[in-house]
Amino acid sequence: MYHYYCLNPISEVGIDAMTENYVPVSDPKKADALLVRSAGMHDMEFSPELKAIARAGAGVNNIPLERCAEEGIVVFNTPGANANGVKELVVAGMLLASRDIIGGINWVQENEEDGNIAKDTEKAKKAFAGCELEGKKLGVIGLGAIGGLVANAGIHLGMEVFGYDPYVSVDAAWRLSRNIHHAKTVDELYKNCDYITLHVPATESNRGMIDKNSLGLMKKGVVVLNFARDVLVNEEDMIDALESGQVKHYVSDFPTPVIAGVKGAIVIPHLGASTAESEDNCARMAVRELMDYLEYGNIKNSVNYPDCDMGMPGDNKRIVLLHYNKPNMLGQFTKILADDNMNIADLSNKSKGAYAYTMIDIDSDIPANVERDLRNIKGVLKVRVLN
């Protein structure tokens, strides 16, 4: 029996995919697994019971990844599951920034009682006119799941697209249209583009990447779109750029007290992934990842431990160990098993940075003393015996 707790509402599609072995609890401290969307977890304390956290979404800046790794808690996300939802809102953002659709709709609402509204429209509408996207230059920073879709959508809209991502994965690169220009430096993209859209994670090194220096390199009247995270943009510098006309519009999916209501800022209440399809996709993927880990120890799409998959254990017993990535860990594990005359049927050991994961299938039962001895090895963070 596994206990889970949802820190945010998670689509029923995911919850329904759980078997009767999964029971919701009303206290997160009693949970084997937590499901989360954007809830901040940095101040949460985790109980020793907690084995895994699944972020039904992409960004994991709300989760203390390093502390979780130290406590043997595997954190998953759902790469790509909400990418189409965000892409579509980015296209909407570019359109909102190009024509004064919002101003026009407001005008209609303000004049709803005007009996001559149809006639007056034809006089008033020039105040809300704009430009088309076709033929404009779009710069996409970050060409992963979302950026790749946005870049390809830009090509379909007839835009000239520049992409910048020095760390792009081979799979993501294969998905890009060959008509996209490969920007060798981000400055090249800043200098050339009419629309610049951010699709990078909110890592320490990416914080504040859009500031007065980068804004100063951009074309006057540029549109900047941020559907990634607020902290990527220095909002004070952005306000100066909006006031001076350097930036025509800043489209952001992240309201903050600083940017909400600023003239020229088009701020959306974090709706990028708020579609039925994205929510279902994320919930389904998050639950699948949790179940595979809790029941079989398989790790797929973890952000703090390596992926490692040995399928189902069949008739064997499986023991999984979360530990530091340092010499002689495997040697110590196998010695303890050999000293107890246990036969290893299968073994996998993978590492990611400072952390590692070992799965061992044994063709006999695993006695409590073996589990205890493994747990006592210096550098072992968590041990689970799965039946």
What residue ranges bind ligand AKG (CB under 6 A)?
Answer: 37-38, 57-59, 82, 273-274
Q: How far is the CB of 186 from ligand NAI (least distance, A)?
A: 6
Contact at 8 Å (CB) between 360 and 319?
yes
- The reply to whether 321 sits near ligand NAI by the rule CB under 6 A is no
Taking the least distance from each CB to ligand NAI, the nearer of 201 and 306 is 201
Which residues are CB-neighbours of 113 under 8 A, at least 6 positions away?
none
Contacts (CB under 6 A) with ligand NAI, residues 194-253: 199-202, 206, 227-229, 253
- The reply to whether 32 sits near ligand NAI by the rule CB under 6 A is no
The site partner of 167 among ligand AKG, ligand NAI, none (C-beta below 5 to 8 Å per kind) is ligand NAI
The site partner of 226 among ligand NAI, ligand AKG, none (C-beta below 5 to 8 Å per kind) is none
Taking the least distance from each CB to ligand AKG, the nearer of 11 and 214 is 11
Q: How far is the CB of 292 from ligand NAI (least distance, A)?
A: 21
Which residues are CB-neighbours of 293 under 8 A, at least 6 positions away?
51, 52, 74, 76, 299
Residue indicated by tokens 């499986």: 318
Burial 50-78 (b: 16+ CB within 10 A, else e): bbbbbbbbbbbbbbbbeebbebbbbbbbb
165 SS3 class: coil
Which residue has the CB atom at the shortest distance from ligand NAI?
Answer: 144
| Rounded alpha-carbon distances, angstroms, from residue 378 to 214, 240, 325, 381 | 47, 53, 12, 8
Q: How far is the CB of 283 from ligand NAI (least distance, A)?
A: 14
Contacts (CB under 6 A) with ligand NAI, residues 64-123: 79, 82-83, 86
Burial 184-203 (b: 16+ CB within 10 A, else e): eebebbbebbbbbbbbbbbe
- The reply to whether 379 sits near ligand NAI by the rule CB under 6 A is no
Taking the least distance from each CB to ligand NAI, the nearer of 14 and 272 is 272
Judged by CB under 6 A, the stretch of 8-16, 135-143, 286-294, 303-311 that binds ligand NAI is: 135-143
- Nearest CA to 27 out of 51, 41, 47, 53 is that of 47
CA distance 328 to 336: 13
- List the x/- string, 157-196, binding to ligand NAI by CB under 6 A: -------xx-xx---x------------------------
Taking the least distance from each CB to ligand AKG, the nearer of 50 and 200 is 200
Which of 75, 96, 141, 210 binds ligand NAI (CB under 6 A)? It is 141
Q: How far is the CB of 55 from ligand AKG (least distance, A)?
A: 7
Taking the least distance from each CB to ligand AKG, the nearer of 302 and 316 is 302
Which residues are CB-neighbours of 54 under 8 A, at least 6 positions away?
33, 34, 35, 36, 75, 76, 77, 78, 286, 287, 289, 290
The site partner of 37 among ligand AKG, ligand NAI, none (C-beta below 5 to 8 Å per kind) is ligand AKG
The site partner of 63 among ligand NAI, ligand AKG, none (C-beta below 5 to 8 Å per kind) is none
Residue 139 bridge partners (DSSP): 162, 196
Helix ranges restricted to H, the chain: 12-16, 65-70, 83-98, 101-110, 117-124, 145-156, 170-174, 186-192, 212-217, 235-244, 276-296, 329-339, 368-375
Under the rule (CB under 6 A), what is the footprint of ligand NAI? 57-59, 79, 82-83, 86, 141-147, 164-165, 167-168, 172, 199-202, 206, 227-229, 253, 270, 272-273
